[in-house]
Amino acid sequence: MVKGDRLDREGAAPLWQQLQQQLLRRIDGGEFAARFPGELALAEEYGVSRQTVRQALRQLRADGVLVAARGRQPRVAPPVEISQPVGALYSLFSAVEAAGLQQNSVVRTLDVRADAVIADRLELEGAAPLVYLERLRLAGDEPLALDRVWLPASVAEPLLAADFQHTGLYAELYRRTGLRLDHGREQIRAVVPTVAERRQLRCDDQAAAFSISRLGSSAGTPVEWRHTLVRGDRFALTAEFSGKAGYHLVGSGPREDLRGTRPAAASG
């Protein structure tokens, strides 16, 4: 706790609520990552009764900030892990919401541009205009992914009027153009983020990430090329298998041209 940071005993907010807010700020600052203090230590530090401490901790547990088994010391809850199935057309937006977290995005860029390499992947002429969307994807208040997507402007130009701060790309694409993706191919690799990427994703220098390159299509026509960098400490890929259908993944080399790889997951 910062020296001189004390509870306001004459303020309108009850002491337990002030204590809860101060503990929340300290948790957000990473102060209790190794060990959370006990009730007695907190009561002595803040000069309040243990009942006041218990009420503050009760609210932090109810909010999912702290976890504790009966008779054990509370600890800071780990970040919620986002899970996405392999082998299904799926939305990252939906996966975040399903985990009980609000999905938000910081839109870095939304414009029309040309890119000959991407156009070739979308089976277009090199100078064809492309709608480009770049976002920092958030799960709750924490960065989850850096997401860049290109679509043919001939079909996706209505997306330029969309607000992507809290909506999925595929929902907006269908609502504004009537186009629905029905097939996706992905290449997923484990990578070490660059210094700049770690700074944006707010992950430590030991964390790995998933690099996901995707070619999405509708009725056999390529309409989306996407590259997403997802924090490996907050994201998991899941798969199902059975004795009858089996479980099979096709490996791929270092090329980023996905034509010919196995259909996999997609995210909106």
Q: What is the DSSP code (8-state) at residue 206?
A: T
pLDDT for res 85: 52
Strands 82-85 and 75-76: unpaired
Question: In angstroms, rounded to a whole number, what is the distance separating the alpha carbons of residues 193 and 210?
Answer: 9
CB 56 within 8 A of CB 16: yes
pLDDT for res 240: 64
Give the number of other Cβ atoms within 10 Å of residue 220's Cβ.
7
Mean predicted lDDT score pLDDT of the chain: 80
Q: What is the DSSP code (8-state) at residue 52?
A: H
Fold agreement (15-76, 82-238): no
**Residue in 178, 177, 185, 120 with CA at minimum distance from that of residue 150:** 120
CATH architecture label of 82-238: 3-Layer(aba) Sandwich (3.40)
The residue behind tokens 């790889």 is: 261
pLDDT for res 255: 37
Q: What percent of the chain has pLDDT over 90?
A: 37
pLDDT tens-digit profile of 224-233?
A: 999 999 888 8
Residue 174 backbone phi and psi in degrees, to 5: -70, -40
pLDDT for res 4: 35
The encoded tokens of residue 111 equal 């414009």
What is the rounded average pLDDT of the residues 124-128?
A: 96
Question: What are the extents of the domains in the chain?
Answer: 15-76, 82-238
pLDDT tens-digit profile of 93-108?
A: 556 655 666 778 899 9
CB 81 within 8 A of CB 91: no
Q: Domain 15-76 - what CATH class? A: mainly alpha
Residue 187 pairs in a beta bridge with 213
Strands 235-238 and 82-85: parallel
pLDDT for res 78: 66
**29, containing H or E segment:** none
Q: Which of 50-59, 125-134, 164-173, 257-266 has the highest mean pLDDT?
A: 125-134
**Residue in 185, 182, 108, 186 with CA at minimum distance from that of residue 145:** 108
Q: What percent of the chain has pLDDT over 70?
A: 75
